[in-house]
Structure 1
Amino acid sequence: MELAINPSKIISTLCYSIFRLEPYTSCPFSCSYCYARWYRKESLGINPKVIGIFSKVAKKLDMRIAFRLATLSDPLQDLEEIAKVSLKLMRIAEENEVPIILNTKSDRISKSPWREQINRMAEDNLIVVQISISSLKNLEFEKKAPEVEKRLEALSSIEAPKIVRLQPFLPNYSFDKADEFVEKLKDYGVDQLTVEMLRIEKRELSIYGKYWDKWSDYSFEGSLIKAEAPEKLEELSNVCKKYGIDFALCKEGLFNLETANCCGFHYLEAEIRPTLREVYRELVRKKKIRFEELNEIFRNFLFGEKLNDLPRLVRKALKYHEKTLIRNLRKREVVERLTPLIKVDDEVLTLSKSAQNIQRENPNTV
Structure 2
Amino acid sequence: MPELVINISNVVSPLCYSLIRLEPYTTCIYGCVYCYARWYRRESDIVRPRVNAVKEFSIYARKIYRRDLLPIPARLSTLIDPFIPHEELFKTSLSLLRIALDYEYPIIINTKSILLLRDPWRRVIERLADRGLVSIQISVSTLDQRISSSLEPYASTPSERLSMAREFSSIGIPIAVRLSPYIPRISIYPSIEELANIFKDHGVRHVVVEVLRLESSSIESFLRGLGLDIDVESYSLRIVEGLTPISRISLGSRIDEYIALSKTLARYGIGFATCKEGLYSIHTAYDCCGMYLLKRSIAYRATLMEIYRIAREWNGIPLEKIGDAMDILLKQGYLVGEKLRLYPKRVSKPLKNHEKKLLRVLKSRDMVIHIAPSLDIVDGRIIARDIDDTIKTVSRPR
- TM-score (norm. length: structure 1): 0.94
Displacement after TM superposition at 1:292 (Å): 3.4
**Higher mean displacement: 212-221 or 159-168:** 212-221
How many residues in Structure 1 have an aligned counterpart in Structure 2? Answer: 358
**Higher mean displacement: 207-216 or 34-43:** 207-216
Whole-angstrom CA distance in 2 between matches of 1:38 and 1:257: 29
- Tell me if structure 1 keeps the 8 A contact 2:216–2:234: no
Aligned to 1:167, what secondary structure does the other structure show?
A: strand
- Tell me if structure 1 keeps the 8 A contact 2:33–2:151: yes
The residue identity in structure 1 corresponding to 2:348 is: R
The residue identity in structure 2 corresponding to 1:319 is: K
Deviations along 1:272-311, one digit per CA (max 9) or x if unpaired, are: 1111111111111111112232322331311011111111
Whole-angstrom CA distance in 1 between matches of 2:388 and 2:108: 31
- Tell me if structure 1 keeps the 8 A contact 2:30–2:155: yes
The residue identity in structure 1 corresponding to 2:108 is: I
Displacement after TM superposition at 1:3 (Å): 1.0
- Tell me if structure 2 keeps the 8 A contact 1:31–1:143: yes
Whole-angstrom CA distance in 2 between matches of 1:74 and 1:232: 27
Deviations along 1:34-76, one digit per CA (max 9) or x if unpaired, are: 1101112322111121111110111101222111101111101
**Higher mean displacement: 227-236 or 215-224:** 215-224
Counterpart of 1:349 in structure 2 is 382
Query: Measured at CA, do residues 357 and 287 of structure 1 come closer, stay the same or move farther in structure 2, by a change above 3 Å?
Result: farther
Whole-angstrom CA distance in 2 between matches of 1:322 and 1:201: 28
Query: Measured at CA, do residues 33 and 357 of structure 1 come closer, stay the same or move farther in structure 2, by a change above 3 Å?
Result: closer
Alignment of 1:274 with 2:307, yes or no, is no
Counterpart of 1:361 in structure 2 is none
- Tell me if structure 2 keeps the 8 A contact 1:107–1:155: no
Selected match of 1:193 from 204, 207, 210: 207
Whole-angstrom CA distance in 1 between matches of 2:21 and 2:385: 34
Aligned to 1:129, what secondary structure does the other structure show?
A: strand
Counterpart of 1:45 in structure 2 is 48
Counterpart of 1:123 in structure 2 is 130
Alignment of 1:294 with 2:325, yes or no, is yes
- Tell me if structure 2 keeps the 8 A contact 1:110–1:155: no
Counterpart of 1:238 in structure 2 is 263
The residue identity in structure 1 corresponding to 2:151 is: F
Whole-angstrom CA distance in 2 between matches of 1:262 and 1:352: 18
Within 5 A, what are the aligned runs for 1:215-364? 215-222=232-239, 223-228=245-250, 229-260=254-285, 261-268=287-294, 269-290=297-318, 291-299=322-330, 300-345=333-378, 347-352=380-385
Counterpart of 1:7 in structure 2 is 8
Aligned to 1:298, what secondary structure does the other structure show?
A: helix
Whole-angstrom CA distance in 2 between matches of 1:231 and 1:153: 29
Counterpart of 1:104 in structure 2 is 111
Aligned to 2:199, what secondary structure does the other structure show?
A: helix
Selected match of 2:191 from 161, 177, 200: 177
The residue identity in structure 2 corresponding to 1:149 is: S
Whole-angstrom CA distance in 2 between matches of 1:249 and 1:271: 20
**Higher mean displacement: 173-182 or 229-238:** 173-182
Deviations along 1:174-208, one digit per CA (max 9) or x if unpaired, are: 22411111111111111111111111111122122
Counterpart of 1:362 in structure 2 is none
Aligned to 2:217, what secondary structure does the other structure show?
A: helix
Query: Measured at CA, do residues 316 and 107 of structure 1 come closer, stay the same or move farther in structure 2, by a change above 3 Å?
Result: same
The residue identity in structure 1 corresponding to 2:167 is: S
Whole-angstrom CA distance in 2 between matches of 1:357 and 1:235: 15
- Tell me if structure 1 keeps the 8 A contact 2:375–2:382: yes
The residue identity in structure 1 corresponding to 2:47 is: L
Whole-angstrom CA distance in 1 between matches of 2:132 and 2:155: 28
- Tell me if structure 1 keeps the 8 A contact 2:272–2:284: yes
Counterpart of 1:54 in structure 2 is 57
Aligned to 2:222, what secondary structure does the other structure show?
A: helix
Query: Measured at CA, do residues 78 and 354 of structure 1 come closer, stay the same or move farther in structure 2, by a change above 3 Å?
Result: closer
Counterpart of 1:134 in structure 2 is 141
Counterpart of 1:144 in structure 2 is 154
Aligned to 1:262, what secondary structure does the other structure show?
A: coil
Whole-angstrom CA distance in 1 between matches of 2:90 and 2:47: 12
Displacement after TM superposition at 1:172 (Å): 2.4
Whole-angstrom CA distance in 2 between matches of 1:135 and 1:116: 29
Displacement after TM superposition at 1:351 (Å): 2.8
Whole-angstrom CA distance in 1 between matches of 2:211 and 2:389: 25
The residue identity in structure 2 corresponding to 1:284 is: R
Aligned to 1:168, what secondary structure does the other structure show?
A: strand
Deviations along 1:70-107, one digit per CA (max 9) or x if unpaired, are: 11111011011111110110110111111111000001
Whole-angstrom CA distance in 2 between matches of 1:179 and 1:354: 21
Counterpart of 2:396 in structure 1 is none
Deviations along 1:236-281, one digit per CA (max 9) or x if unpaired, are: 0011011111111101221111111221211223211111111111
Displacement after TM superposition at 1:212 (Å): 4.5
